[in-house]
Amino acid sequence: MTILNVETFAIPGPALITVAAHGDDRGWFSESWNAQDWRDAGLPHIDWVQDNKAFSAAPGTTRGLHFQTPPHAQAKLVDVLRGEIFDAIVDLRAGSPTFGRAITVRLSAQAHSLLYVPVGFAHGYQTLSTNTLVAYKVSDHYAPECEGGLLWCDVSLGIEWPRPDDVVMSGRDFTWPGLAELDTPFAYQA
């Protein structure tokens, strides 16, 4: 995982990490995880415990905005293996100077970039191509009793989804509360 660049945002914590891809006539090779390179780049220590994959056949498939509450809160490391996504995260840490603010990025298999999402953020994405495959590491195991979400289309978040009127989505994702109704389980720690 030779890290070429770590881009930080106006919201402290998340990072966009670009890794090297070594190519030849056969295609390319890239490490998706290397603990030493992660530490050398000054990124926070994370014990990743589970790898997940999500396949979406149709463009406009929207997943999120999701999080897990303590004691099973999750940090995530998001990687696109095939296709392209519009990724969005929202700061849910009570007391944070950036509470309720969103960060959006486009991730694609060709860009070789990963998005680090710390604990305390809601996460979601919308596919921009057919047959999109997303992989992500998480720092705690899936715990259904700790599942939470934030309404993806809450206008107060200021997220400009590329396909706002043409989404393929789980019914439950239409029922999450908006930011004003959310009782956040996360606290900001300076």
Q: List, for residues 138-154, the tens digit of each pLDDT value.
A: 999 999 999 999 999 99
The number of angstroms, rounded, from the C-alpha of 1 to the middle of its chain's C-alpha atoms is 19
Told to judge if 188 belongs to the known catalytic residues of this protein, a careful annotator would answer no
Annotated active-site residue in 66, 112, 116, 123:
66
What pLDDT does 166 receive?
85
Structural domains in the chain, sorted by start: 47-187 (2.60.120.10)
Told to judge if 141 belongs to the known catalytic residues of this protein, a careful annotator would answer no
What pLDDT does 3 receive?
82
Annotated active-site residue in 112, 116, 125, 136:
136
**Spatial CA neighbour of 2 closest among 30, 25, 28:** 30
CB of 122 within 8 A of CB of 66? yes
C-alpha to C-alpha distance for 172 and 70, rounded to whole angstroms: 21
What pLDDT does 2 receive?
84
Q: Is the pLDDT of residue 1 over 70?
A: no
